[in-house]
Amino acid sequence: MHKFINMKKYKYLISRRITQIAILFLFFAGNAFGWKILRGNLSSAKAFDAVPLSDPFAVLQLTSTGTVLAQDAILGSIIILVFYAVIGGRIFCGWVCPVNMVTDAANKLRKILGMDKQQRAMEIARGVRYWVIGLSLALSAVLGVAAFEWISPIGALHRGIIYGMGFGWAFVAVVFLFDLFAVKNGFCGHVCPLGGFYALAGRFGFLRVGYNKDKCTLCMKCTDICPEKQVLHMVGKQSGAVLSGECINCGRCVEVCNDDAVNFRNIYSN
Amino acid sequence: MQGRGRPARMMTETTIGRDDPAPANRTNMMPERRDFLIKTVKSLGLATAGGLEWSGFIEEGKSAPLVLRPPGAVPEKQFIASCIKCGMCVEACPYDALILAKPEDDKPIGTPYFTARTSPCRMCKDIPCVPPCPSGALDKTLVSEKGENGALVLNINLAKMGLAVIDRETCIAYSGIQCDACYRACPLIDKAITVEYTRIERTGKHAMLAPAVHSNACTGCGVCEKACVTQKASIFILPRELAMGKSSIRYVKGWESRDEERLKDVKEDVKTKTPRSGQSPVDYLNQEEF
């Protein structure tokens, strides 16, 4: 019985890990064994040898260099953008991006080492990511390459896993150490422009976390576990849904709530 | 520009405000305004610092010129502006010749390249690496020609990945040894590499079978570089823009029947203009000094 309850407490976490690893594995198998389910990587891919998929932020950066990209990349980016915009939140960040596993690990280690209790060594604003979006596009235009893709630890990680890592692990290690020693949820929650991009894109999607004040006992476990605490500003104040696009839809708040006060819901239906 | 103009104006207001003896303004308005101002300046400063560091890193990676791209690659500058780093060309390569650049490879990171000495391009007839490219960094039309029914047909011989260059000082064929490894290996034998038969002047009686590369046919596949028997290859591939010179359009080969046709498309004025060229040759002959 005890085991069973525990499993239920981690159902989204486990599903997320399965999704993240499965997607990476399908890409890996596409390269290594010639499977045709997913080929390419998270920057651009082809599903079932038919459907093009592309990272819309990468396409935006390449386009801002003044390049007119081929049809597949454009079409693929629209498919991905519409998909994430309809679902809502930063579902990419919580369920697809492999860096999520790295930063979650850093976060876990912070907790084990008790670093959260100490004063933060450094504090940066959540809005930095939107500046980095602007900077990415400006630098892409000036330098003639997709600027964020050039330094992206996300790219380094998924490219590395699929095609060979090399020194790319250093990019990932920087993120891990930054999140561990400098700022809690530092990369995914403050800096990453791709996260910022999906926060803007997922603002109006349907699948959001809903909060019910009547059931809430103010234990605040949800805000403790949340990597984007600011989105749960309504907890203890009023019922309602998380409307900020910055929520990564990871569902940790839903899992930790013992009072059934936090749940996923379709905000467009009653 | 708008965003930068505003804080600057507010800065003067703040400075004036500080000297202003009226205390009401200071207690109500200033802390918030000053906070906002400092935050904006801080953000701009950090963005500039980050941006400079960031662009330095990119510029360094961009400046690596010795990179051989897959067939059908658009010119390098355009290539790095359109490659999305998905690796689908790498996946398609049946010989695993293509590699996505890792940070330590000293190539634009995440872009595909091959190393001729270790694994050259095998010039597959169906060019499997080009069609999967989603972004247009590999352009099918650059390796296609019009077929019989007018449709484009892939032809790997049109690829221009690089150009083979021979170091005559180290090539053993140029020292008189009968080596034709590169010539025999070349997929476009007798077109891209030919063997020139000459006499070795030093001995006066031996033959030299010297390989020569022809840039109009060479695709830069690098099979010759792989085949070369010297310790470090004496025939090697360089990107064409590094390996080739360029003569001005003025130089028309009169002995080649069609070479003059190139001039038809030229819009610029190709006539030579020097202080002397305005005069006619006759004037020159009539000048005193002559």
Task: Give me the pLDDT at residue B5, please.
Answer: 41
Mutate to test the interface with A, among B40, B48, B109, B113 (most CBs of A within 10 A): B109
Give percent above pLDDT 70 in chain A. 96
Residue B260 CA to residue A80 CA, distance in Å, equals 52
Domain edges within chain A: 2-201, 207-266
First to last CA, chain B: 65
Q: Among A58, A132, A160, whose Cβ lies nearest the Cβ of B84?
A: A58
Residue A152 CA to residue A170 CA, distance in Å, equals 11
Question: Minimal Cα–Cα distance from A1 to chain B, Å?
Answer: 46
Q: Judge whether residue A77 has pLDDT over 60.
A: yes
Structure letter (DSSP) for residue B220: -
Chain B residue at shortest CA distance from A68: B82
Structure letter (DSSP) for residue A178: I
Residue B56: its chain A contacts at CB < 8 A? none
Domain edges within chain B: 2-62, 76-158, 163-243
- Test B134 with A156 for CB contact under 8 angstroms: no
Task: Give me the pLDDT at residue B270, please.
Answer: 66
Q: What are the residues whose beta carbons fall under 8 Å from the beta carbon of B124, sequence distance 6 or more?
A: B94, B156
Q: Among A46, A128, A156, whose Cβ lies nearest the Cβ of B88?
A: A46
Task: Give me the pLDDT at residue B288, please.
Answer: 67
Torsion of CA B133, B135, B136, B140, to 10 degrees: 20
* Chain B residues near any Cβ of chain A (below 8 Å): 43, 47, 50-51, 54-55, 57-59, 61-62, 77-78, 80-82, 84-88, 90-91, 99-100, 102-105, 108-110, 132-136
Task: Give me the pLDDT at residue B8, please.
Answer: 43
Residue B59 CA to residue A79 CA, distance in Å, equals 32
ipTM of the complex in this document: 0.89
- Test A69 with B104 for CB contact under 8 angstroms: no
Residue B265 CA to residue B282 CA, distance in Å, equals 32
Q: Among B54, B105, B134, whose Cβ lies nearest the Cβ of A73?
A: B134
What is the token pair recorded at A193?
A: 């422009």
- Test A39 with B77 for CB contact under 8 angstroms: no
Q: Which CATH class is domain B163-243?
A: alpha beta
Task: Give me the pLDDT at residue A46, please.
Answer: 94
Q: How confident is the model over A110-153, as pLDDT tens digits?
A: 888 888 776 555 678 888 899 999 999 999 999 999 999 999 99
Residue A5 CA to residue B96 CA, distance in Å, equals 48
Question: Minimal Cα–Cα distance from B252 to chain A, Å?
Answer: 35
- Test A70 with B55 for CB contact under 8 angstroms: no
Residue B133: its chain A contacts at CB < 8 A? 70, 72
Task: Give me the pLDDT at residue A120, please.
Answer: 56
- Test B135 with A145 for CB contact under 8 angstroms: no
Structure letter (DSSP) for residue A53: E
Task: Give me the pLDDT at residue B15, please.
Answer: 44
Chain B residue at shortest CA distance from A166: B102
- What are the φ/ψ torsions at residue B126 (nearest 5 degrees)? -90, 5
pLDDT level of residue A4 (50, 70, 90 thresholds): low
Which residue type is seen at A71? Answer: Q
Task: Give me the pLDDT at residue B10, please.
Answer: 43
Confirm if A259 and A219 have CB atoms less than 8 A apart: yes
- Test B102 with A146 for CB contact under 8 angstroms: no
Q: Among A39, A76, A147, whose Cβ lies nearest the Cβ of B54?
A: A147
Distance (Å) of CA A142 to CA A50, A63, A139, B2, B61: 34, 12, 5, 20, 15
Q: CA angle at residue A65 from B88 to B98, to 5 degrees? A: 25
What DSSP line would sit under B223-290, residue for residue?
Answer: HHHHH--SSS-SEEEE-HHHH-----TT---TTSTTGGGGGGG--S--S---TTTTS-HHHHHHSTT-
Distance (Å) of CA A129 to CA A89, A103, A124, A144: 15, 16, 10, 21
Chain B residue at shortest CA distance from A29: B91
Topology adopted by domain A207-266:
Alpha-Beta Plaits (3.30.70)
A34: left (phi > 0), else alpha (psi -120 to 50), else beta?
left
Q: Judge whether residue A16 has pLDDT over 80.
A: yes
What is the token pair recorded at A36?
A: 């045709």
- What are the φ/ψ torsions at residue B135 (nearest 5 degrees)? -105, -15
Strands (E), B67-206: 99-100, 112-113, 144-146, 152-154, 163-166, 193-199
Q: Which of A153, A194, A196, A197 is nearest to A175 (CA)?
A: A153
Q: Among A69, A131, A171, whose Cβ lies nearest the Cβ of B82?
A: A69
- Test A76 with B43 for CB contact under 8 angstroms: no
User: In chain B, which residues have pLDDT < 50?
Assistant: 1-20, 22, 25-26
- Test B87 with A166 for CB contact under 8 angstroms: no
Residue B192 CA to residue B222 CA, distance in Å, equals 11
- Test B84 with A143 for CB contact under 8 angstroms: no
Mean pLDDT of chain A: 91
Q: How confident is the model over A183-230, as pLDDT tens digits?
A: 888 899 999 999 999 999 999 999 999 999 999 999 999 998 999 999
Task: Give me the pLDDT at residue B78, please.
Answer: 93
Task: Give me the pLDDT at residue B101, please.
Answer: 92
- Test B99 with A164 for CB contact under 8 angstroms: yes
